Amino acid sequence: MKRNTVVRIGVIASYFVFLLVSLLVEFEPGREIGRNFASFTVDMLTILPGAFILIGLFEVWVKRETVEKHLGEGSGIRGYLWAILLSATTVGGLYLAFPVAYALYSKGARLNVIFTYVGAAAICRIPMAVFEASFLGIKFTAIRWLVSLPLLIITSIILGNYLNKRGYKIAAGK
């Protein structure tokens, strides 16, 4: 086994030993960490299988030409708008946005647009906006979007252009 793998296994095993010892000796911070871990695991197991099925169907059903047309090199500002609209409907946060972003990239979406999609998935999902507006007001949410989205697009363009000039490609998963 590689040293890196042994270290990873050791760290993971240490974490679970910590949770077990915390449970046995009633160490409340450790027990709370365990409850949070269990809650997060349940959330992930309820969302991810369906999401990965949908991503697989996307890979099969959506033509590369369609993605290239709307999110690729010739899409212009429309590509950013499509990325924002798509990310606004993403359920499940960034742990679902990244696999979708990879699927889009593998179908021909520009890096700039991918960065916009991932960033927008973090800042302007519809469920999050409704929750935010109900507590902080619609005016606050509108101002945050009006400030955040242009900055996100500008940053995505700068980062995408920088990486494209250096020939960056997203590596295939192992």
* Residue 158: per-residue pLDDT: 96
Output the pLDDT for position 3: 80
Residues of the chain with pLDDT under 50: none
Residue in the block written with tokens 């889009």: 104
Residue 109 per-residue DSSP state:
-
Look at the block and give the residue holding tokens 């429309």.
Answer: 78
Give the three-state DSSP class for 2.
coil
pLDDT of amino acid 168? 85
**How far is the C-alpha of 132 from the C-alpha of 6, rounded, in Å?**
43
Global pTM reads 0.78
How high is the pLDDT of residue 173? 57
Both tokens of 73, joined, read 């090199």
Every domain of the chain and the residues it spans:
1-60, 62-174
- The CA distance from 89 to 91, in Å, is 6
